[in-house]
Structure 1
Amino acid sequence: MVKPSIPKGTRDFGPAVVRKRNYILQTIRNTFEMFGFQPLETPAMENLTTLNGKYGEEGDKLIFKILDNGEILGRAQQAKDSRELATLLCEKALKYDLTIPFARYVVMNQHELTFPFKRYQVQPVWRGDRPARGRYREFYQCDADVVGSTSLINEVELLKIYDTVFTQLKLDGYALRVNNRKILGGLAELVNRPDLLTDITISIDKLDKIGMDGVRKELSDRGLNADEIQIVENFISIDGSNDEKLSRLKEVLKNSPMGLKGIEELEFVLNNQLTTYASTPLIDLTLARGLNYYTGIIIEARAPEVVKIGSIGGGGRYDDLTGLFGLPGLSGVGISFGVDRIYDVLEEMQLFPTTAQQSTKVIFLYTGDENIKLAYQHITALRARGIAAELYHENAKMDKQMKYANKREIPYVAIIGDSEIQEQVVSVKNMVTGEQVKLSASDLATFDFK
Structure 2
Amino acid sequence: MAQKPSIPKGTRDFNAEEVAKRSYIMETIKEQFQLYGFQPIETPSFENSDTLMGKYGDEGDRLIFKILNSGDYLRKISDEVYKSKSEVTITSKISEKALRYDLTVPFARYVVQHQNDIELPFKRYQIQPVWRADRPQKGRFREFYQCDADVVGSKSLFQEVEFIQLYDAVFSTLKLEGVTIKINNRKILSGIAEVIGAQDKLIDFTVALDKLDKIGEEKVKEEMRSKGISEEGISKLQPLFTLKGDFGSQVESLKSILSTSEIGLKGIEELEFINTAISNLELKTAKLQLDVTLARGLNYYTGAIFEVSAPEGVKMGSIGGGGRYDDLTSIFGKPDTSGVGISFGLDRIYLVLEELNLFPATIADSTKVLFINFGETEAMTGLQAVTKLRQAGIKAELYPDNAKMKKQMNYANRRHIPYVVLLGEEEVKAKVFTLKNMESGEQQKIEFDDLLEVLK
Measured against the shorter chain, the TM-score band is over 0.9
1:338 partnered with 2:345: yes
1:62 partnered with 2:67: no
TM (norm. structure 2) is: 0.93
The corresponding residue for 1:444 is 451
1:33 partnered with 2:34: yes
Task: Write the distance in 1 (CA, Å) between the matches of 2:419 and 2:31.
Answer: 29
Task: Write the distance in 2 (CA, Å) between the matches of 1:35 and 1:259.
Answer: 31
Q: CA offsets per residue over residues 38-58 of structure 1, 9 Å max, x none?
A: 111111111111111100111
Aligned residues of 1:266 and 1:297 also touching (Cα < 8 A): yes
Q: CA offsets per residue over residues 13-55 of structure 1, 9 Å max, x none?
A: 2222222211221221122122211111111111111111100
The corresponding residue for 2:318 is 311
Aligned residues of 1:381 and 1:445 also touching (Cα < 8 A): no
What amino acid sits opposite 1:17 in the alignment? E
Task: Write the distance in 2 (CA, Å) between the matches of 1:425 and 1:76.
Answer: 80
Q: Which of 133, 151, 158 does residue 153 from structure 1 map onto?
A: 158
Task: Write the distance in 2 (CA, Å) between the matches of 1:168 and 1:136.
Answer: 26
Task: Write the distance in 2 (CA, Å) between the matches of 1:114 and 1:287.
Answer: 33
What is the correspondence of 1:108-257 to structure 2 with a 5 Å cutoff? 108-257=113-262
1:51 partnered with 2:59: no
The corresponding residue for 2:438 is 431
Q: CA offsets per residue over residues 278-308 of structure 1, 9 Å max, x none?
A: 1211111111110000011111112233332
Task: Write the distance in 2 (CA, Å) between the matches of 1:396 and 1:319.
Answer: 66
Task: Write the distance in 2 (CA, Å) between the matches of 1:329 and 1:434.
Answer: 69
Compute the displacement of 1:246 (Å). Answer: 1.6
The 3 A distance-change label for structure 1 pair 362 and 131 is same
Task: Write the distance in 1 (CA, Å) between the matches of 2:30 and 2:453.
Answer: 30
The corresponding residue for 1:407 is 414
Aligned residues of 1:303 and 1:345 also touching (Cα < 8 A): yes
Comparing 225-234 with 111-120, greater Cα deviation is found at 225-234
Q: Helix, strand or coil: the match of 1:330?
A: coil
What amino acid sits opposite 1:428 in the alignment? L
The corresponding residue for 1:323 is 330
The 3 A distance-change label for structure 1 pair 427 and 153 is farther
The 3 A distance-change label for structure 1 pair 367 and 173 is farther
Comparing 354-363 with 84-93, greater Cα deviation is found at 354-363
Q: Helix, strand or coil: the match of 1:329?
A: coil
Compute the displacement of 1:376 (Å). Answer: 2.0
The corresponding residue for 2:100 is 95
Q: CA offsets per residue over residues 189-230 of structure 1, 9 Å max, x none?
A: 111221111111100100111111100101111111222112
What amino acid sits opposite 2:102 in the alignment? D
Aligned residues of 1:187 and 1:235 also touching (Cα < 8 A): no
Q: Helix, strand or coil: the match of 2:362?
A: helix
Aligned residues of 1:8 and 1:137 also touching (Cα < 8 A): yes
1:267 partnered with 2:272: yes
Task: Write the distance in 2 (CA, Å) between the matches of 1:313 and 1:78.
Answer: 46
Task: Write the distance in 2 (CA, Å) between the matches of 1:142 and 1:151.
Answer: 23
Task: Write the distance in 1 (CA, Å) between the matches of 2:133 and 2:336.
Answer: 32
What amino acid sits opposite 1:220 in the alignment? R
Task: Write the distance in 2 (CA, Å) between the matches of 1:432 and 1:200.
Answer: 61
State the number of aligned residues: 449
Q: CA offsets per residue over residues 331-356 of structure 1, 9 Å max, x none?
A: 11111111122222222333222322
The 3 A distance-change label for structure 1 pair 284 and 429 is farther
Task: Write the distance in 2 (CA, Å) between the matches of 1:440 and 1:155.
Answer: 59
Comparing 426-435 with 397-406, greater Cα deviation is found at 426-435
The 3 A distance-change label for structure 1 pair 76 and 238 is farther
Q: CA offsets per residue over residues 291-331 of structure 1, 9 Å max, x none?
A: 00001111111223333221111111111111111101111
Compute the displacement of 1:91 (Å). Answer: 1.1
Aligned residues of 2:240 and 2:293 also touching (Cα < 8 A): no
Q: CA offsets per residue over residues 244-271 of structure 1, 9 Å max, x none?
A: 1122222222222211221122122222
The corresponding residue for 1:18 is 19
Alpha-carbon RMSD: 1.9
The 3 A distance-change label for structure 1 pair 99 and 371 is same
1:294 partnered with 2:328: no
The corresponding residue for 1:104 is 109
The corresponding residue for 2:393 is 386
Aligned residues of 1:76 and 1:88 also touching (Cα < 8 A): no
Task: Write the distance in 1 (CA, Å) between the matches of 2:307 and 2:109.
Answer: 24
Task: Write the distance in 1 (CA, Å) between the matches of 2:168 and 2:111.
Answer: 27
Q: Which runs of 4+ in 1 moved over 6 A?
A: none
Q: Helix, strand or coil: the match of 1:30?
A: helix
Q: CA offsets per residue over residues 71-107 of structure 1, 9 Å max, x none?
A: 4245163434211121222111111111000000100
What is the correspondence of 1:347-362 to structure 2 with a 5 Å cutoff? 347-362=354-369
TM (norm. structure 1) is: 0.94
Task: Write the distance in 2 (CA, Å) between the matches of 1:178 and 1:439.
Answer: 61
Aligned residues of 1:76 and 1:89 also touching (Cα < 8 A): no
What is the correspondence of 1:73-88 to structure 2 with a 5 Å cutoff? 73-75=75-77, 77-79=79-81, 80=84, 81-88=86-93
Q: CA offsets per residue over residues 227-248 of structure 1, 9 Å max, x none?
A: 2112223124211011111222
Task: Write the distance in 2 (CA, Å) between the matches of 1:374 and 1:268.
Answer: 68
Task: Write the distance in 2 (CA, Å) between the matches of 1:76 and 1:28.
Answer: 50
Aligned residues of 2:368 and 2:455 also touching (Cα < 8 A): no
Task: Write the distance in 2 (CA, Å) between the matches of 1:433 and 1:21.
Answer: 31
Aligned residues of 2:76 and 2:93 also touching (Cα < 8 A): no
What is the correspondence of 1:277-292 to structure 2 with a 5 Å cutoff? 277-292=284-299
Q: Helix, strand or coil: the match of 2:344?
A: strand
